Amino acid sequence: MTVISTVSGTAIKTINVGRGAGAIAITPDGKTAYVVSNGSGTVTPIRTATHTARKAVKVSGQLQPRGIAITPDGTTAYAAGGVLTPIRTATNTALKAIQLGGWGIIVVVIR
C-alpha cells in the first residue's frame, strides 16, 4: 500500500500489508485504517497519523477476505470472504467467524 499526500499528490511511504491488498476501511475517529489482503488472508491495521502498520490479523475462511467495514462506534471491523470475521479494534484480535454460505465480499454495517 502506498500513502499519497493529498496536498502534493506525491507518494509519502510504502507500507507492507501482505499480498493482494484490496479493500480499506477507516475507523470513525480516523485514527486507524484497516487494509484487507486477500492473497495473505489478513487484515492489517495502520495508524493514520504515523503511517505505521501494526501486526496483521489472520482471518478465517477458505476464501480470502475481499471486503471490510467498521461499525459506526468503531469497536468492530468485519472482514468478508466466504465467512465474516469480526475483529475487535481495541485489541486487533479476530473473533469467532460467522459462516456466510457463499462468497460474501461486500460488507455494510448499519446502525
Q: How do the domains of the chain map onto residue ranges?
A: 17-99
The top-scoring range by mean pLDDT among 39-43, 57-61, 91-95 is 91-95
CA distance 84 to 63: 11
Burial, 59: exposed, middle or buried (Cβ in 10 Å; 0-12, 13-18, 19+)?
buried
Which CATH architecture describes the domain 17-99?
A: Beta Barrel (2.40)
pLDDT at 106 > cutoff 80? no
Can you tell me the mean pLDDT for 23-39? 94
Phi, psi at residue 53, to the nearest 5°?
-85, 140
Name the pLDDT band for 62 (thresholds 50, 70, 90).
low
pTM, two decimal places: 0.88
CA distance 109 to 16: 27
pLDDT at residue 99 in the model: 83
Can you tell me the mean pLDDT for 66-88? 91
pLDDT at 73 > cutoff 80? yes
